[in-house]
Amino acid sequence: MKDIKARHIPVVILAGGRSSRMQAEGLSGDKYLHLLDDKPVIAHLIERLQLQADHIALNSNQVQSVLSRFALPVIADQFAYNSGPLTGILTAMRYAKEQAFVVTAAADTPFIPSDLLEALFNRQQAIQSDVVFAASNGATHPTFGLWRTHLAEKLSTWLAQGHKPSVISFAATIKQSTVDFPFGTLSNGSSYDPFFNINEPSDLILARQLLKQLTI
């Protein structure tokens, strides 16, 4: 355990959302595949994660050919029911079962902090949490978390028992903590939430504006 470094922890990007709000307003396809500047939203996330992690995988039920451009392992859901992000989190735990921890991240969040993994891992080591969530401005982001992989059996049983498929509800049954990340600064002096996520066409427009002003 002492030899673990943050960048050695596997990261699984949760790319299984239905993009219902995006599609309801006229944009078809998965929201994380829409272009932000000259590349898909998820590509921005991958680039930021590659500076922090040695191993990244995608959790998606998409056909392999759709995601092959990213040259990352693609793992399909390993739970029979649609339980939202918890299905992806369980899949991530099982995928990384040989490791002590796994980090999950949302596919539609292109501006994550450059110290995400380091900060989550340091917090876990300090208080030995079962899960450490990222937060910003006091709001917790349940899809961004560092999880103990041995929780897979507990989570599988919990889901099979028909509990509400809520990440926060499950986290209430284990030892949890958070790391609150500061807002980033844009070149025009304004700030932005590093966990800004793209759900609607208007978010995509805003993300393009933010990208032009990013200082890092």
Known binding residues:
14-16, 31, 59, 77, 108
- Burial call 157-171: b when 16+ CB within 10 Å, e when fewer: ebbeeeeebebeebb
Distance CA 95, CA 108 (A): 21
Which residues contribute to the annotated binding site for GTP? Answer: 14-16, 31, 59, 77, 108
Which residues contribute to the annotated binding site for Mg(2+)? Answer: 108
By CB atoms closer than 10 A (0-12, 13-18, 19+), residue 172 is exposed
**Rg (Cα) of the chain, in Å, rounded?**
17
Determine the length of the chain: 216
